[in-house]
Each structure stands twice: as C-alpha cells, then as structure tokens.
Structure 1
Amino acid sequence: MEYNIQIKTAVLHILDTSINLPLISNNELYIDGEISEFLDKHINKVLDDTNLKKARFIGDTNIVRDICQAISADESNFREASKEIANIIFDIMIKNVDIISGDLICCLLDINNERYYGLLKLNYKTGFTHYVNQSEDGTTNSIIRHKTLLPAEGQKVDEAALISLETGEIKLIERTYEINGQKEFYLSKYLLNCTTDLSDNEKMKIIDKVTKKINKKYYDEDFDKVAKLKNVVSQSLEDNNKVSVEKIAEEMFETNLEVREEYIQEIQKAGITEEAIQIPQKIAEKKFKTHKIKTDTGIEINFPLSYYDNSDMIEFTNNPDGSISIIIKNVGKIISKQ
C-alpha cells in the first residue's frame, strides 16, 4: 500500500555509544530530493511492516506524551523536544550495552493528511568500501571496514515510532535487547511508556503455534490439520481479508466441541481477543499460497494450496497397513531444480 507522506522538517542526532556521548544536532536536516525519497521509502516500509504494532501512552506522567502535546500546541518546540528525546534514548542505550548504536531521525510529517511526530532509529550496519591514501610514495588504494553505515533504501528499519499529534495513537516497530538479564522491548517500556497491541505477524504466529499444539495433543500431528488450517484461512481471506477464530475452530475440529472450545481459549490466553483478525496481503501470500509436507522417508513436496482437496491434482490415500500413498496427477512436465 502506498501512503501519501510529506516530510515537513527533520533533525538527525548521532547515538553512538562507542564515543560515550550523543552528538546532538542544533540545526534541522536539509531535505533535498534524495533525502526526502530516502525518508519516504523507509516510512512506507515501516507502515507496511507486518511487525508494526498499535500502541497507546499510559501513566499519569509521561515524558514523551507531554513532549508530543507541546509540539502539537506549538511546532516551534520541535527542535528542543527532539534533543530531549535523543538524550533520553542515549541514556537508556549507555546503560544497556546490548542496544545497537545508530542515528536517530526525528521528524514532523503528514501521513494521509494527518500530522505525526516520527522517530526513526537507523541502526548501524557494517560494510566494506575502498579507501584512497595519498602519500609521498603515490596513491595507495585499500579496503576498509565501515561500522556506521545506515540502512539502505531497500532495507527495513527495525526501530521506529510514528505518533499521531491528533489522536496520540502510536505506530510502533521495536526489537528486544537484553536488559537487566532478560530480553525486553526498551522503546515501549522505557521510552514511550505505552501499551501495545499484537502485530499482524505475532497474531499469525499465535494461531500457528496453538494449532500445532492442539494438533499434536489430539491428532498425533496430523498433516491434514495443518493443511486444513491454511485452507480455511485462505478461503476466508478471499472473501474479506479477515479470518474468524470461531470459524477456524469450527471447520478444523468440526463436531468435537471440547477441542474447539480448548482451541479458542488457548488463542484468547495468548492475547488474541478480537473475533476477526485482519490479515495483510503480504502475510497471506507468504503463508497461505503454498503448503509444504515432508514424509518420514525424506521426500518433500511443496504444492499450491489451491490443490488441497482437489483430487484431480494431488491425492492422499490411507492404505490398510497404515501407510499413506501420495499421487500427483496431470503433470505435463517435470523439471529438476537444484
């Protein structure tokens, strides 16, 4: 999905813990065509990321919420407010060495005509480039390692927050780091102080995990149940891009009411409370376009999900001895793939 993004102003702060202090910019970033395109592409990727979560500020006192309200009331507060946020993030980073250094871009922008305050933490990448050394002996070309390269336009930003200055809603991408001996999300817990919903990716992982758990408990890991799950979800997506947990349970476990109820309860305990889950096209194409199976004899078959239950294309037959025969039909040509 393409979004109408307009960058109004931005500032870049360098948060490199190897030099023990943040390099805070006193001036805003000069945004020419290339920089504008760079930011636009990264923000589009953030908005389309399946790990994007909705979040909301909590607490009677909340520094970042107060900063955003100050910017909303008077946008001339943007520069000083961004310095304060950069210093807060750096203070968290310097106390927790596992957090990756990077450049922080703070920006004011419109997304589909709604004003946002944006934070993009561009974590450093390592790469190699040439280095030209001029000396009395002439030119010497060599290769050096750069440790502070920014993510390219085609790469994803894995830490970002887009805060609506109209509603206060947060669109958040974050990653865990080791903090106080355990993996934690520092952006939501220590910077933004907010509650977060599950991302689309997390919801699908929960459904997949609970389905496998119930399948193993009651059906001895029957491959047919996994294929059936994908087929139920795929058919639902064709109708309205949503899947109903109730419908999945009903079609997968049919008349076994006890298993159906346990399945729904496990899904709810894992954090999915809505009746219908919106599934982005990106996840649908990746997870529900094909189905892969592997036999105990080492044979792997990857087939289009649309062939499931289509005996004209592939057929699974239960033999009297308990084994299964797989018949692939109507094949015009076989191509060897290395």
Structure 2
Amino acid sequence: MEYINEVNINEAIVHILDVNSDEPILNEYPLELNEEVHKFVLRHVERALKDEELKYALFNSGRGIIKEVTQEYLNGHCTIIEASQEIARTLFGIMKTNSSIPSCDLMAVAFSTEFGPMLGLFKMDYVKNYTHKIDFVDNRMSIKIIPQATGLPVSAQKIQKCAFIIPMTEEANYHLMVIDKQGKKGEGDEYGAKYFLSSFLGCTLINSKRDLTKSFLNAAENWTRANAVNDAVKAENIRSAIKKSLKEEDHIDIRELSSNIFEDEYEKQAFVAFVQSQGIEEKLPVDKQWVEKKLKRIRLKIDKEIDLYIDADTYHDSRKFEIIRNGDGSINMVIKHVMNYIEK
C-alpha cells in the first residue's frame, strides 16, 4: 500500500444528485477554493486516503465510462467540468434505477501527490443537520429548531464511498483506490449491493500488502479466541509470537510460523488450514508501516469485565507491566510503580 503524505489540491467541483428530480443539477464552475473551502476539501481527501477501508482496484477490461472519462481528464484532454458532469450523469442514472440509493452531492477533486496526479470522486451522502428559524407571532419573537436534510458530511466524518483514480500505465499494479463501505444490515438494498464498484466504477478489488497483513492478523486472533478458551497462557504465547513475527519479518511463512508456535502436530495443521480458509496464501508479505501503527497500542478485554489500553512499549517493559503465569492456565497482569492515575 502506497501511503500518501503529500496532497496538493488543484481544483474541485460539486454536482447535486437528487433522486427526486428528473435530472442532476450540474455545476458549470469549479469551486472557489478559498481558505475554508480548501480546508474542507483537503481534510476529506486526507482522511479518506488514511482510511483503513481504502483498497486497491483495477478497472475491468473493455470500455467503461468512468475509466475513459477519468483518463481523458488525467491526460489533459478535457476539463474537470466536462469530466465531472459526465461522471455525475452516470452515477445519477444508476441512482434512478434503485430507489434505495440516497440522494447526494458528487464532489470531484483533482490533486497531486508524491506519486503523481489523482482524481478523487466522493459520494457525499446527506446528513441531517439542525438550524434555528425566527418568526414573529403577534409581535412576539418565536424561535424554532428545524431540520435540514441536505447537509454535507463535515470534514471530521468518514465518507462511505469514494475513489481515487490515477493515470493508467501498462506497468501499474492498480488503477484506482476505493472505499465502498456497506451500511448496517436492514438499512436497505443499496448498502448490500456493490453498485458503486460494479455498476458505477466498473472495477474489481485486489488485495494489497496491507489487506493481506490485516486479514492474517484477524484470522490469527479469531483462531486464538476459539482454540485458547480459558487458557490465558496459551493465548498470550500465540499472540506474542505472531506480533513478534510481524514486527521482525518482511514476509510470513504461515506453515513455518505455525511450527514455531505449536508443539502439537494437529494444532500446527489446524492453524494453517484455518488461516488458508480465510483466503490467505501460505506465504504473504508484511506491511511494516501498518503493523507499526496497529501494534503501537494494545487493547485488552479481560474476563469480559476489564478494558485495558496500554502502549506497546509499556506492555513489554517489565518495570511497568508484567504477566505472571500461575501454572494453571491463568495469568496475573501486574501494573507496577504507579505514581499517578485519574478516573475518566
């Protein structure tokens, strides 16, 4: 996964896609990027680029409107107004065929990074905001609170669906990065359907090094929870060995790791089989930057009664924190030399 640190906004534009209308409301001018608007756009771009759900994708073979229009723009053959209007028409047409897709604004953002130019497409679902309304009734002031149903997500909120497209080259390993979060069950067909990926973008997700590392850690944790029940010593040994390998190795050999962790032959095979059943191959690369961030803090749920957040360095510092094995499968977690604490 390429972690982007430099984002320079070049231009942006917004179109209104109201499913209650017959046509989209298409903007004919780019946004005026004054200080406040620039900050709003930049924060959404930066937040989305750092989102854990951001994934690599390839455009499907053959023709595709989004693929063709975005490449025309990125190669300088059309303006952001022309490109974004065609993109907005495409998304609006899809929305009109599915009543469960909510109205939104489509924001297109052109920006440059240390890896080159990108075009961001954001489906800005409306959020309900509230404002006041002042009336005069019988010469007396009446102030009411009324809802506004077309508010845009503030920069602190995560966008549910967006894409970042790059110029396509023969040697490129990916064509775009995508966020396509699904809502909670029961919220409607829109969130269960992959319309954003398939019908709109016309792309297929591919696994990045971060995806593989994240999937492996999740699979290992799920196996540990199921196979080290009421055996805290065993669970601690498994988790510590896996974290040590992720921190020290650039590649993980699942079979070799399993042999180093388990003595029982059945458990060795069972662990490997379970990890592979989660779609993870026997050998995988490790995303060291993601591991460093993920394992920087440790969150423990102890006997379903105690939550403990602890810095990784403190967790491994025997002067401050220690795990003592009691010999019966249980452990004591000891916090040492406490000089100050507060209640929250």
Fold-level match, TM-score > 0.5?
A: yes
1:82-127 CA-partner distances (Å, limit 9, x unpaired): 1121122122223333333321111322122612122012221112
Match of 1:159 among 155, 158, 161: 161
Q: Does 1:271 align with 2:273?
A: no
Give the corresponding residue for 1:173: 179
Shift of 1:324: 3.2
Give the corresponding residue for 1:26: 28
Letter paired with 1:324: S
Q: Does 1:210 align with 2:219?
A: yes
Contact map agreement 1:15 1:101 (CA 8 A) in 2: yes
Give the corresponding residue for 1:49: 51
Q: What is the Cα-based RMSD across aligned positions, in Å? A: 3.6
Give the secondary-structure state (helix, strand or coil) at the position aligned to 1:161.
strand
1:1-338 superposed matches below 5 A = 3-19=5-21, 21-112=23-114, 114-133=116-135, 137=139, 139-167=141-169, 169-176=175-182, 183-198=192-207, 203=212, 206-215=215-224, 218-220=227-229, 222-236=231-245, 238-239=247-248, 244=252, 246=254, 248-253=257-262, 255-273=263-281, 275-278=284-287, 280-281=289-290, 284-285=292-293, 289-295=297-303, 307=315, 313-319=322-328, 324=330, 326=332, 328=334, 330-332=336-338, 337=343
- Cα distance in 1, alignment partners of residues 190 and 164 from structure 2: 29
- Cα distance in 2, alignment partners of residues 102 and 7 from structure 1: 22
- Cα distance in 2, alignment partners of residues 98 and 270 from structure 1: 31
Distance 1:151 1:61, change over 3 A: same
Gaps of 5+ in 1: none
1:203-222 CA-partner distances (Å, limit 9, x unpaired): 46633553355446654464
- Cα distance in 2, alignment partners of residues 179 and 141 from structure 1: 36
- Cα distance in 1, alignment partners of residues 118 and 207 from structure 2: 21
- Cα distance in 2, alignment partners of residues 60 and 145 from structure 1: 45
Letter paired with 2:286: I
Letter paired with 1:263: F
Shift of 1:300: 6.0
Shift of 1:171: 1.1
Counting matched residue pairs gives 331
Give the secondary-structure state (helix, strand or coil) at the position aligned to 2:326.
strand
Distance 1:229 1:68, change over 3 A: farther
Gaps of 5+ in 2: none
- Cα distance in 2, alignment partners of residues 276 and 221 from structure 1: 32
Distance 1:88 1:225, change over 3 A: farther
- Cα distance in 1, alignment partners of residues 137 and 78 from structure 2: 49
Shift of 1:159: 1.4
Which 4+ runs in 1 deviate beyond 6 A? 178-182
Shift of 1:4: 2.3
- Cα distance in 2, alignment partners of residues 99 and 201 from structure 1: 30
- Cα distance in 2, alignment partners of residues 9 and 200 from structure 1: 31
Distance 1:252 1:113, change over 3 A: closer
Contact map agreement 2:4 2:114 (CA 8 A) in 1: no
Shift of 1:196: 0.8
- Cα distance in 2, alignment partners of residues 295 and 52 from structure 1: 33
Structure 1 residues 10-19 or 303-312, which shifts more? 303-312
Distance 1:299 1:68, change over 3 A: closer
